Amino acid sequence: MEVDRDLIDYDYIDYIKKQWSDNNLTYIVMGSCISFYNFRVDYASKKQHYDGELFLEENNQGGMPVTFMNMDAVRTKLSVGEIFRLNVKVSNERILRPWMYTFCKQKKSLGDVCSASEAEKNMAKGWWGLCSDKFDNTLNEWLVKLQGNVDISDCEKLNSKVRNNCLSDFWRHTIRELIEAIAHIHDCGLFHGSLNEYDNYVVVGDQLKLFNINGCLEGLKVQDQYSRKIQDFQEFRDTLKKLLEPSTKWLERDGFLNCFDAATVFSYKKYVEKLKNHPFLLTPHERHEQTRHERVGWVVRTDVGLLLQAGGKGGLWGGTATAMESEAIRKATVACISSGVNKVEVESDAMAIIQMIRGERRADMEEVAIVFYMQVLATEFQQVAFLHTSRRCNKVAHEVAAFVTRYGGNNACFIG
């Protein structure tokens, strides 16, 4: 289908020119004089979007690849013009950029109306289209292709879980950047409103992007604005629940998804930072950096109580008592792995951290990084148990910690 210059929405062009002239931001570019555009409809398909081209006044050599979305098929209470005006306010690499909107109608006669397909009838009636940067598929279409073993290059991205129960690099980067994109929408005075629907995500090359921003925060009460923001994140969480290996047991994933319910504990800014920097989204090195604390001591004994190793480290970053105890557990566990031990019982007088590692208690936000790291280390052993013991039975480890508190440094002793 080709649409000529007579069908261009010049009200839109006047609007975008004004947006461009009023824009003083160096990182947002808006506005171009559109000469004409074209796209082709596949009547045999049930697609909601079609590839096309925009020909701009300053580019006479060829068209710019774009996608026309049939907005009549999108579930929204807003008009296509309202959606365009909201989405054009936001500039972010993880948010699909709109170019224009227009009414599309078939110019030629259908002939025998009774034998026409549903797509042909819709084209005869006409539909409102939103033109944006070209994308490959909606998230729903992408998942159907992956699960149907359709020959596409990125089928390995369906697997979000990799070795040691860690999140794959693709999903780690995608989730963190989408959290930042949602926060950017809020910073622009908007909210999305429907991030729990697959059709509001699109796949562009190696990126998953947001689409179809649906609401403005202006005019809402302060509490309602906050609720709308948190609702966006929790609807995003609901989508992740369906994407991240939903049929498998995955403690690290569940701990991350549970953190989306912590909105009442933190301010909005702190809430977003906690989500972005959750250990589930960090590399092993980044997780290790979150486990550094003041001073710790540890010992390794045989099953009959003979001392094999002892060590401690001082001069580390400060933290809670539970966090320091968990760091001592980590140090001792790493020492066992380095020594080739494959069957261990890990004892600590910190009941809370033992319960967190065993999955019997939800990890606190400040300790979640260390707990996550310990659960990964536990997979290195043939057999491992985390046990609670009394402080009296753990006296030697506390003596080592007291030593490094007085003298500092990184100390270790290996016996036999």
Give the pLDDT confidence of 32-59 residue by residue, as tens digits: 455 567 766 655 456 788 888 887 665 5
Give the model's confidence band at 273: pLDDT under 50 very low, under 70 low, under 90 confident, else very high. very high
Distance CA 229, CA 216 (A): 11
Question: Between the ranges 134-143, 220-229, 325-334, 374-383, where is the mean pLDDT highest?
Answer: 220-229
Claim to verify: residue 119 and residue 6 sit in the same structural domain = yes
3-state secondary structure of 31: coil
Claim to verify: residue 27 and residue 147 sit in the same structural domain = no
List, for residues 135-160, the tens digit of each pLDDT value: 988 898 888 877 766 555 565 666 78
Whole-number pLDDT of residue 382: 86
Q: Which of 347, 338, 334 is nearest to 301 (CA)?
A: 347
Q: Mention every residue, 6+ apart, whose C-beta is less than 8 A from residue 337.
A: 377, 380, 381
Claim to verify: residue 357 and residue 267 sit in the same structural domain = no
Q: Which of 262, 281, 300 is the last residue of a domain?
A: 281
Claim to verify: residue 13 and residue 122 sit in the same structural domain = yes
What is the layout of strands, in order, in the sheet containing 307-313?
296-301, 307-313, 410-414
Q: At what angle do helices 251-258 and 222-243 cross, to 10 degrees?
A: 170
Domain ranges, residue 172: 140-281
As a residue count, the chain comes to 416
Claim to verify: residue 151 and residue 56 sit in the same structural domain = no
Residue 255 pLDDT > 80, yes or no? yes
Among left, alpha and beta (phi > 0; psi -120 to 50; other), residue 408 is left
Cα dist from 396 to 134, 240, 327, 335, 390, whole Å: 64, 45, 16, 16, 12
Q: Residues 181, 213: contact at Cβ < 8 Å?
A: no
Helix (H) or strand (E) holding 405: helix 395-407
Distance CA 196, CA 120 (A): 31
Give the total number of structural domains in the chain: 3
DSSP state for residue 108 in the 8-state scheme:
S
Q: Which of 134, 159, 186 is the last residue of a domain?
A: 134
Percent of the chain with pLDDT over 90: 23
List, for residues 331-376, the tens digit of each pLDDT value: 788 888 888 888 888 888 788 888 888 888 877 666 777 788 888 8
Which residue matches tokens 């909105």?
Answer: 263
Which residue matches tokens 């003596």?
Answer: 399
Claim to verify: residue 375 and residue 265 sit in the same structural domain = no
Long-range contacts of 314-322 (CB under 8 A, 24+ apart): 314/404, 314/405, 314/407, 314/408, 314/409, 314/410, 315/408, 315/409, 316/292, 317/292, 317/293, 318/293, 318/294, 319/293, 319/294, 319/366, 320/366, 320/367, 321/350, 322/350, 322/352, 322/353, 322/364, 322/367
Beta bridge partners of 399: none
Claim to verify: residue 342 and residue 365 sit in the same structural domain = yes
Residue 410 pLDDT > 90, yes or no? no
Distance CA 276, CA 274 (A): 6
